[in-house]
Amino acid sequence: MVTSAQPDPAALLTIDIDGGTFRLRPASRADLPEILKLLADDQLGATREDISEMAPYERAFEAIDADPAHLLVVGELVEPGEPARPVVATFQLSFIPGLSRRGSWRSQLEAVRVSSRLRGLGIGAAMVIWAAAESRRRGCSVMQLTTDKSRKDAHRFYERLGFTASHEGMKLTL
């Protein structure tokens, strides 16, 4: 259940959820190990991610962090009586200029993850709604994402938030 929380001026979003307060903030390099755990914590991610070698991830983080067209975000949970703020969610939002749609910008939502122990509390929806609002704020006319065809639960989640499967995505592994 999501309820309103007292605003935190350092956070991108702050909401109360059952069991604590959830905050979105820009990711820092120190968050990288926890972000990678979230990315690897599913059937597809477990086969794609190899966190035994951190250098490629560190280079990617530096590139994302240095480019204002990309925003890597983490969500942290502050639980009552606990000083630590564990990273429990993440996503990346990228802003892409284009000539189509009368030269409009679009945003690309990637790697949306919420800790399995916190799914169903509205955190994922709150993150996507925040990402859509930020995309509008930055002048984007559309927010797009891809999701693996095998992720049927994710498809239903995004459809509930208003996304439509309007295109067939294709990828070329290089």
Confidence of residue 173 (pLDDT cuts 50, 70, 90): confident
Q: What is the mean pLDDT of the chain?
A: 87
Confidence of residue 167 (pLDDT cuts 50, 70, 90): confident
At 15-61, the pLDDT tens digits run 888 768 899 999 999 999 999 999 988 777 666 777 778 899 999 99
CA nearest 65: which of 44, 85, 35?
35
Q: Where are the domains of the chain?
A: 2-160
As a whole number of angstroms, the distance between CA 26 and CA 67 comes to 13
As a whole number of angstroms, the distance between CA 117 and CA 73 comes to 19
Q: Is the pLDDT of residue 83 over 50?
A: yes
Residue type, 138: R
Give the other-Cβ count within 10 Å of 108's Cβ: 17
Residue type, 46: A
| Out of 83-87, 117-121, 135-139, least confident range | 83-87
Residue type, 65: D
Q: Is the pLDDT of residue 155 over 50?
A: yes
At 100-129, the pLDDT tens digits run 889 899 999 999 999 988 888 899 999 999
Reading the block at residue 94, the tokens are 């990228």
CA nearest 73: which of 2, 11, 117, 116?
11
> Between 10 and 149, where is the model more confident?
149
Under the phi-then-psi rule, with left for phi > 0, alpha for psi from -120 to 50, and beta for the rest, what region is 67? beta
Q: What is the CATH number of domain 2-160?
A: 3.40.630.30
pTM assigned to the model: 0.86
